[in-house]
Amino acid sequence: MTHLALLLLLALLGGCAGFAPQPGPGAEPAGSYRPLTLPFIAMGDTQEHLATGYPMHDNDSAVDAYVEVAQRPPEQTLFGRRLLEWALLGHPDMPFLHLGDVMDLSCRVEAERLSKIFRAAPQQGAILPGNHDGLMFGIYAYSLLAANLDPDARKWNKACRRGAAPDDDRHKTDNEAFSKRDFIALYLSEHSQTRLAKQGLQPPPKQGRHTVSWRNPDPQAFLSAIESELLDGIGYADSFLAQRLRLPRAPGATRDTIIIGLDTNQAGPLVSTWDTIMGRSPGSMGHIHPDQIRAVEKWVDEAGERGDIVVFAGHHNWRSLGLPSRVFLRAVMQHLDHPLVYLSAHTHRGFWAVHRALDRRPLLELNVSSLSDWPIAYRRISFAYDEAARRLQVRGELMPRGDKPTETYVDLLAAWEKEACAASGVSIEEMRAEDAALVRLQRESRGSLLEWLVESLAPVCETCDIPLYRHAQAYQDELLEVILEVDADLGREAHQLHTLTLPTWCWRQDFTVCVKALLSERADTLAGQVELFRRKAALVALFNDHLDDLTSQRARAYMTCRAVQAAKADFDATPEDSNNDRGEEKRRAEQFFRIDASVGMD
């Protein structure tokens, strides 16, 4: 039985837990707050997804019929990363904090696509590791070094082979899957190629255990320190990347505000095995080991001695951290003599919460929603302090912001439409209809969960994978339909797709002719299914790469709008009991639309 099949069976047998809102902050008391920081933007869960590798049972469309985020609308796969780009370019004078899950399957191609966006960002920023940043689908820490003995590791690497074409040697290596060590190494290398290289930050070696303990000599720098441990072998998931961030001071502020950016994803093999036995997806629980706690403890003590305000941040929301991790963090927080705040992502929901367990002091949490599932949003955050009352205020404006503060999902969609859709030059009604139709098509083409379980548990046979490839082809077809709509909506001068060098089997035809011919082909045998899938995947991969080169404001606005509209259409088509508590009334119950809250010492 596959790991995912076990998890799904446990979920099916266990049923769904009821929703109970977390305790949240109460009405704001009167106070005299002095600004501590200028604003920064915070976002999470971009989850860039590679959809053109070898098909996997773990990502089959049948799973999406039960686990709604197993396969997102095709617009998200092609355009989703532009939501992140839109947020970054829209606030060029504010540093950013990405709270993790920039990738989905955790493939090298996914990392490369997101790296282009981060390199082009006009501001300083930091990324915290999420469970999808180095584990396959954010779930398992398969040993890539032992791939010859581990069929799951081989499956991960094959699923990351962009295009999956037999003659694509560039993307058919044994190094396409992207481990936790790979993620940290790339992140440090990218920063070392900026001005931080002059500050002593060096790229880590490609292999071997490596420790990083770096401090930025620039006292005004946003990224002010890094503590990291990179591990090879089966233990790579225990690697960690901790970061100290200094927020820009507000005019007149007399103290610094420091964010301790934690790596909540030290998910080694023992952690993963135990979580599986307990019927949980291992990546759903966050873990911080004592080695990382010791590394950040000195930052906390130094800040306390200087009288700085310290805010904690991590990918996993507070309740999704394992009990030992919460105990460790609460012990470190006791070193501070000011109110406590924690910033998080992971849930794809967004909320404010107050936690009182494990310590007498309350902990205020702001969870920032996601950029991959509705409600798609991010936050503009700043801090202020009331010295007399000893209360720390968090202002977390919901972004994008329309003509008025966002109080409903209608307001949130209207804000995206005004900011992005209106700048695309394409009718909003037309795009809305296109996305609704594609979402409906994608959902109708999904297989059944029972069929999926039978396939995944059945002995290996030649015909067993035919339904898997049939479902995978249906998704490639939907991706190609989006490309045809790009042609019709934007026009050739804007998209330049006709300038691409197409595969030889397109016979030098216009790309639209080649796509339509490919969509009309059928295959009955497994060999025919595999060959047809590979051609479709190769073409989708070529088009998807080209989309990254479209930099006009109109093209960016169009792709951003399509991703938002598709996410909303998919959400609207999802039954309330299957949307992971993302319904508007449940979000209102956890104060998603609130824009500020404060916390005191008791």
pLDDT band at 387 (very low <50, low <70, confident <90, very high): very high
Residue 71 and residue 323: Cα distance in Å, rounded? Answer: 31
Q: What is the mean pLDDT of residues 273-286?
A: 64
| Position 552 pLDDT exceeds 90 | yes
181-201 mean pLDDT:
86
CA distance 404 to 301: 41
Q: What is the pLDDT of residues 461-512, one digit of tens each?
A: 566 677 888 888 899 999 999 999 999 999 988 899 999 999 999 988 999 9
Task: Write the pLDDT tens digit of every residue in 80-119.
Answer: 999 999 999 999 999 999 999 999 989 999 999 999 999 9
How many residues belong to the chain?
Answer: 602
Query: What's this model's pTM, rounded to 2 decimal places?
Result: 0.92
Strands (E), 406-533: none
| pLDDT over 70 percentage in the chain | 84
Q: Which two tokens stand for residue 313?
A: 């941040």
* pLDDT beyond 60 at 143: no
Q: 146-165: per-residue pLDDT in tens?
A: 444 455 557 788 888 876 55
User: CA 223, 117, 343 angle in degrees (round to 5)?
Assistant: 45
pLDDT of residue 146: 46
Helix extents (H) in 491-602: 492-495, 511-520, 526-547, 553-572, 584-589
User: What is 162-212 written as a DSSP string?
Assistant: TT--TT-GGG-SS--B--HHHHHHHHHHHHHTTGGGGGT--PPPSSS-EEE
Q: What is the pLDDT of residue 155?
A: 77
| Mean per-residue pLDDT of the chain | 87
For 138, list phi and psi in degrees, rounded to 5. Answer: 75, 15
Is residue 59 over pLDDT 60?
A: no
